[in-house]
Structure 1
Amino acid sequence: MSASEAVQADTDPHGSWDDVRELPPSAKLVAKVLEYNDTMSQQQLAEETLLPARTVRYAISRLEEANVVDSRFSFTDARKRLYTLAIDA
């Protein structure tokens, strides 16, 4: 990471589509689905993408590492997390 990228990472908590480009295809698919659907659970993402739940978990973890996904607990079921794309347009 260059010095300018480090400064940008400190000032901008969210990633960009450039960060997604380097990720596996499953993570790209999950990001695109979240772009079109505001907030979704892992189960909803698995149903929408037709990916196995394990693959969706892996994709979400990669997206979180790249700071392009925000997560929060569901108000209706605290066992579930809801995911939102966190890329500034």
Structure 2
Amino acid sequence: MSMSTADDPNAVAEQTLSDAEYRERLRDLPPSAKLVAKVLESDSPLSQGQLAEESLLPDRTVRYALNRLEDVDLVSSRYSFRDARKQVYYLAR
């Protein structure tokens, strides 16, 4: 039987990153991922299209940056409440 994150007392500790841990995970990522993270710090949640508009990066580059951020557990996503066909992204700090 698996535990949900609400039942696991260690889940909160795993989900909360200190500034030092956050910066360390971000350090080796490409500049596009750093820019997308910075945009999400100031305004989130955002869709991939909104991130492309805010960062002035091409859609393909934003998609790559989001994948890299997800690989190091810095970004999470959920379905948009306004349009369930879209996903919105936010920092997982």
TM-score if structure 1 supplies the norm length? 0.80
Q: TM-score normalised to the size of structure 2?
A: 0.76
Matches of residues 7-86 of structure 1 in structure 2 within 5 Å? 12-13=14-15, 16-86=22-92
Q: Is the 8 A contact 1:14 1:67 kept in 2?
A: no
Gap runs ≥5 in structure 2: 1-12
Q: Residue type matched to 1:39 in 2?
A: P
List per-residue Cα deviations over 1:39-82 (Å, max 9, x = no partner): 11100000000000000000000000010011000122122101
Q: 4+ residue stretches of structure 1 with deviation over 2 A?
A: none
Asked if 2 retains the 8 angstrom alpha-carbon contact of 1:13 and 1:67, the reply is no
Do the aligned partners of 2:15 and 2:92 also contact (CA within 8 Å) in 1?
no
CA distance in 1, matches of 2:53, 2:62: 10
SS at match of 1:78: coil
Deviation at 1:86, TM superposition (A): 1.3
Larger Rg: 2
Amino acid at match of 1:79: R
Gaps of 5+ in 1: 1-10
Structure 1 residue 30: Cα displacement: 0.1
Residue of structure 2 in register with 1:5 after alignment: none
Higher RCO structure, 1 or 2 (CA under 8 Å, sep 6+): 1
Identity of paired residues, percent? 58
| More divergent stretch after superposition (31-40 vs 13-22) | 13-22
| C-alpha contact 2:70 2:76 (8 A) present in aligned 1 | yes
CA RMSD of aligned residues (A): 1.3
